[in-house]
Amino acid sequence: MTLDRFYPIFDHADWLRRMLPLGVKLVQLRIKDQPDAVLRAEIATAQALCRDHGAVLVVNDYWQVAIDAGCDWIHLGQEDLDDADLPAIRKAGLKLGVSTHDDDELERVLAMDPDYVALGPVYPTILKKMKWHQQGLPRVTEWKRRVGDIPLVGIGGMSVERAPGVFQAGADIVSVVTDITLNPDPEGRVRQWIEVTR
């Protein structure tokens, strides 16, 4: 299946309630620092919402909960990879997306045969303190050359205005967080994103 080119990331299932009816077809749930019961309830809710709207849910980090909940996709950061049981993830039939920031990480990830590779931050981001400064568009082009047919996700400092250039540079998918969640009109912004990515 081909993944949608617009890939928002939210930290709560309530966001999915608001955004999925607008036509979002690929979404990541990235929950941090919640007790296990809350985590499981959120992922189950998100999964049900995505099924109702024909959308793909990607669960960030919590691969065991994703397996338990019968999810289809997980996303792992580099730190998450150290603790993840990749054979168990594959055995459960989960598809895997992974973050990369430099050559060593990309080599490591390509050896895992991922279902998508994310490169970030393409632009400066306010979301996380990172040791990587912006990667820039030439890096997106280089990564696409190296990953070949694997979908490439550009993330970090993304906006509706920047998206066309990121696609032109070689990204298959653009992922976005604060451009929506900090926007005074998140619904309006999602509509703009859908327009620019389809």
Answer yes or no: 30 catalytic. yes
Residues 21, 47: Cα–Cα separation, whole Å: 14
Dihedral sign from CA coordinates of 133, 98, 82, 66: positive
99, 139, 162, 189: the active-site residue:
99
**Contact yes or no for 71/94 (Cβ under 8 A):** yes
Tokens, residue 182: 């900090």
Residue that the structure tokens 């990749």 belong to: 86
Strand partners, 62: none
Is 175 part of the annotated catalytic residue set? no
Token pair in block for residue 59: 């669960």
Q: Is 32 a catalytic residue?
A: no
Selecting among 17, 18, 51, 128, the annotated active-site residue is 128
Distance CA 190, CA 196 (A): 10
Catalytic residue, from 25, 30, 40, 191: name it.
30
User: Coil, strand or helix: which one is 180?
Assistant: helix
Active-site residues, by number, are 30, 99, 128
